[in-house]
Amino acid sequence: MCLIITGKSSQVRATLLDTKGMLKDIYTSNSDGIGFMYATKDGLKVIKHLPKSEADATACIKRMPTDDREIAIHFRMTTHGDTDLTNCHPYDVIPGYVAMMHNGVLHTGNKADPSKSDTWHFIKDYLASPVAEHPDLIFNDSFLTMVADYIDNNRFVFMNGEGRMSHVNFEQGVEHDGMWFSNTYAWKPASLIPNYYSGVSKGWKYKNYAAWDDAEYAYDYTNNISGIRPLAMTSAHSAHDANYDEGAYEWKDSDSAGMDVIVKAVVDVDVDTVSRMLNEYPDVMLPALFDAMTPVECKGNGAHDMSTKEKYLLDLVIEQNVEELIEYAYSTMAAPQILAEVICYYCDWLFVEQSM
């Protein structure tokens, strides 16, 4: 699902090159293109590269300026369109003057040209004309708010030829040491931020419950998955917050409240919350969801340009294939987000008593 990083070029460059394992982690999950944009005395500079290895990615990062000018860098994982330089971010909005990066998945007009990405289509269909007529729209709070409301769980970054930058859905990302990261699922924040919860579900995947600290988590662990009941939780900080602390999450033995949290997130199409649940405890979340609700494929899915992976996951959800869905949720760092989008965007959900 890609990753965007913004900040001072020298700092972003040094962070990527000097933080042990960080670039390897990001590149492994987002290896379909690297691009960055920054201002020069001659206008906006855009560099795109299709690395074939971690060494290529490192060489690309070394081309970033070593001064303190603002920069935005994008690591791509292909969801729509070909994997080529044309679909590598950033994209021109006004050629030579305004460019844009995107993180997320957009479902508008993608069938017009299957070789092009969802970002390319969105710019062509919605942004190119108004921004060409009024370039400062990309810094207008009302315009950015309108775009944010429309794109929902997606992030945009704009930059013009003077190096002025704006973000859409800035709050969906996480800040650290003057840098902004567009998500926490396409990389391991713990590689950079000490004690940041990485999203790897320690005991859940391997059933190694003995390694957990029962006093800290106050939970009755069992090897019998069918015996685990839905849980409720309250948090001090969002997982997108730099101050996020796993220990701040309070687990409660409340069957009804736990079910309410899961059901509400799905009914509200709250992709971030569903993704977090799938990231942290898919073994609990998915069985509980299917106990409470039955998925039905959305009638409007034919209008969407679903990827092969999304269609495969949709079939698993409709079949309620819990075992394979849990296995997929653990497969990569990006998997919970992709599955959450399928659950929220491509399914209608009926309460069990309604589906009988």
pLDDT the model gives residue 302: 61
Q: What mean pLDDT value characterizes the chain?
A: 82
Burial letters 149-181, b for 16+ CB under 10 A, else e: eebebbbbbbbbbebebbbbbbebbbbeeebbb
Does residue 203 register a pLDDT over 90? no
Burial (Cβ within 10 Å: 0-12, 13-18, ≥19) of residue 322: middle
Q: If you search the block for the tokens 């042990």, which residue do you land on?
A: 20
Tens of pLDDT, residue by residue over 16-60, are: 999 999 999 999 999 999 999 999 988 999 999 999 999 999 999
Task: Determine the Cα–Cα distance for residues 269 and 266; give it in Å rounded to an integer.
Answer: 5
Helix (H, G, I), strand (E, B) or coil at 153: coil
Does residue 181 register a pLDDT over 50? yes
Dihedral sign for Cα 337, 343, 344, 347, please: positive
pTM of the model: 0.59
Q: If you search the block for the tokens 């020298």, which residue do you land on?
A: 10
Q: What is the CA radius of gyration of the chain?
A: 21
Q: If you search the block for the tokens 């997320």, which residue do you land on?
A: 104
Does residue 135 register a pLDDT over 60? yes
